[in-house]
Amino acid sequence: MSNIALVLGGGSGTRMHQDIPKQFLTVNDCPIIIYTLEAFQNHPEIDAIAVVCLDGWENVLKAYARQYGITKLNHVFNGGNTVQASIRNGVFELHGGGCTLTTILS
């Protein structure tokens, strides 16, 4: 059985009043989303990473993953209009891909 981390990166960050979504802003020359992905990349019990991504930013996410050596990123799904819709999209996509959902940690 594989352990897949589902990362919610579908927010637009409108409250930040920036030109790019907050998860792609850089802190110490690294996009914020990469800090999260690196944590799962380096976790020995995580076999794969799935990201629910803001529509239109999928290629940026994949490019950053390549640049920073995130090899466990196996799935990128479209986000929804709300956090709840994004969670639903991610869970349904994983389940539709044959994953058995046993534990969700927040």
The domains of the chain, with CATH numbers, are 4-96 (3.90.550.10)
Between 41 and 81, the higher pLDDT residue: 41
Predicted confidence (pLDDT) per residue in 19-71, tens digit: 888 889 899 999 999 999 999 999 999 999 999 998 899 999 999 999 999 99
Quickly tell me which residue has 């794969």 as its tokens. 48
Give residue-wise pLDDT tens across range 8-27. 987 766 776 778 888 898 99
**Model-level pTM?**
0.85
For residue 103, what are the CA distances in angstroms to 3, 17, 27, 35, 99? 9, 35, 31, 23, 12
Measured at the CA of 8, the angle between CA 77 and CA 84, to 5 degrees, comes to 90
pLDDT score of 32: 93
Provide the 8-state DSSP code for 22. Answer: G
What's the rounded Cα separation, in Å, for the pair 55 and 69? 23
The span from the CA of 23 to the CA of 12, in Å, is: 8
Residue 81: alpha-carbon gap to chain centroid = 16
